[in-house]
Each structure stands twice: as structure tokens, then as C-alpha cells.
Amino acid sequence: MLVSATEMLKKAKEGHYAVGQFNINNLEWTKSILQTAQELNSPVILGVSEGAGKYMTGFNTVAAMVKAMDQDLGITVPVALHLDHGTYDGCYKCIKAGFTSIMFDGSHYAIEENIEKTKELVAVAHAMGMSIEAEVGSIGGEEDGVVGMGECADPAECKQIADLGVDMLAAGIGNIHGKYPANWAGLSFETLDAIQQKTGVMPLVLHGGTGIPEDMIKKAISLGVAKINVNTECQLSFQEATRKYIEAGKDLEGKGFDPRKLLAPGCEAIKATVKTKMELFGSVGKA
Ligand code: 13P
């Protein structure tokens, strides 16, 4: 069931668990994530970066595929189709394409411009029944060409953006996209605590979910994080399983070259990763 992320995140914040956002790249990714959410009776958010949207030939294709797949698979759990780290133009494209949720990442603008653009997009998204995520303070690392320095957000600025009526707020707290370096300082819970004190019931978003230790994930949820984004970890699981299949020469046996066979171990690996995350985030059975 395609819905905005508003209700599922409100419930998650109240119930002290988090809904996973899993980024999609193609049909196999989408199918694996949707089937796992349904099996575990968990709400889920499908994240689409602008790069992945382009790869899949455009946001219209993505929206049509997700809607049709949701229907054909008989998915009854709440599913939000969400633009990840959207630009101003990208947000309008996804609004037109029929996404149910957008993220406007105005974190690289001065706070005044971030506020102005976010405010405009909140009004448009809400008029369309969509949810909207905003960002303050940048997430470190690189995702699809979006590079961030990883500075911690200013809690006062978080409050300014939260007050615009966004449905969820991403705030940099030392988190990084991609693998964490060995010398990573960890999440700044002091910053997270200060942000939650200022923003109250606002569901907070933790980007860079790949590789964050379990205890940190649990602590972040206890301090108001209600949405956690995972991208790289599904890519690594898929890659590892596919590599094993080919290195074992399975693609050379019988019809092992058939894409439905060749991609199957990778899909199973994505499902296993999504399941582990949903269990850790506490969203199982919460649909
Ligand atoms: P990872 O790739 O580190 O899991 O981050 C995902 C993310 O934050 C998407 O916005």
C-alpha cells in the first residue's frame, strides 16, 4: 500500500522504534525489499537518490514500477516511495511523477535559503498529500555525487526547520554515507539529545545506516531517531553473494547464466540484510 511517510513515522517515534529506508536501484532491489517488509509485517520506505532515478531512466519509470509492483505482489504493509537527498528541481519532478514522499536536501545552502526553499516545498508536498524530509548539517561522505563534510547540525537551526512543518528531519550528528573509516569518532549523542530537546515530537532521521554498531543504533532510537537510511549495506550484500556464485562457477553450470538464477543469490542476500535491519530497528510487526 503506497502511502506518505507521515503516519508510519509518527507511530515509530511514539513507539520508540525506527522505520528503515532502503535505497533501490532496480527491479530486483525493489522486489526484495517489498517482499521482506510484507513477510515481516513492517512499514518500509523505498529511497531513490537522483542518481538511481536517472539510472532507472527517470522518476516516472520508478513511480510506475513501484506502484505496479506493490499491486502485483499484493503488498498490504505501508510503503512510502521517497526521494533521497533531492535537489529543488528533483523534488518537483518527483511530486509530478507520483512519489509519496520527498527529501529536500538544502543543507549546502545558507540557513536562510534552506528555510525559504524548504518552506515552499512543505506547502506543495502537503497540498499533494506527500510527506517531506529536510536536512540541517551535512552527512559526511559521498552518495551518488552528493558530497558532505559531515559537520554536526546546530540544534537551533534544526528547530527553525522543524517549525516549518516538515514530517521528518535529517540532522548531521557525525554520520557518514558509505563505510565508516577505522578512525571514525562515532555518533554525537550530545548533539542528537540537544536536537531532540529542541524539536520535540519531530521524527529524526539517521542517514548513513551502513556499519553503525547496534548499540549506537539503539541509543539513537532512544533519543528520537524514527527513520534510518540504509543503502551501501544492501549493495555490499548483493555484491558478495553474486561474487560467490560466479567464483563457484555456478553461472557455467546448466542454465546458471539465466539472469533469474544469476541474480537470485544477490536478491536473497538483500532480503537477509533488510530483515536484520528491520529486527534491529524494531519495526517488525508494526505495519
Ligand atoms: P549508507 O549508504 O551509508 O547506508 O547511507 C544511506 C543513506 O543515508 C541514504 O540517504
Whether the CB-CB separation of 63 and 80 falls below 8 Å is answered with no
Q: Which residue out of 142, 216, 229 has the highest number of ligand 1 atoms within 8 Å of its CB and is therefore the one to mutate? A: 229
Query: Domain range spanning residue 25?
Result: 6-239+274-281
Whether 164 maps to a domain, the answer reads yes
Which candidate, 86, 97, 78, 100, places its Cα nearest to that of 4? 100
Whether 33 maps to a domain, the answer reads yes
The pTM score is 0.97
Whether 133 maps to a domain, the answer reads yes
Which candidate, 139, 151, 136, 138, places its Cα nearest to that of 232? 139
Whether 262 maps to a domain, the answer reads no
Whether 42 maps to a domain, the answer reads yes
As for how many domains the chain has, the answer is 1
Burial of 261 (0-12, 13-18, 19+ CB in 10 A): middle
Whether 116 maps to a domain, the answer reads yes
For 96, residues 6+ apart whose C-beta sits below 8 A from its C-beta are 59
Whether 286 maps to a domain, the answer reads no
Q: Which residues line ligand 1 (CB under 6 A)?
A: 23, 47, 84-85, 143, 177-178, 207-210, 229-233
Residue of minimum CA distance from atom 5 in ligand 1: 208
Residue of minimum CA distance from atom 9 in ligand 1: 229
Calculate how far, in angstroms, residue 205's C-alpha sits from the geometric centre of ligand 1: 11
131-136/101-104 β-pairing: parallel
Q: What is the CATH number of the domain that holds 157?
A: 3.20.20.70
Could you identify the residue written with the cell 534552506?
114
As a whole number of angstroms, the distance between CA 281 and CA 32 comes to 18
pLDDT in tens, the chain (287 residues): 999 999 999 999 999 999 999 999 999 999 999 999 999 999 999 999 999 999 999 999 999 999 999 999 999 999 999 999 999 999 999 999 999 999 999 999 999 999 999 999 999 999 999 999 999 987 777 777 666 667 799 999 999 999 999 999 999 999 999 999 888 889 999 999 999 999 999 999 999 999 999 999 999 999 999 999 999 999 999 999 999 999 999 999 999 999 999 999 999 999 999 999 999 999 999 99
Whether 192 maps to a domain, the answer reads yes
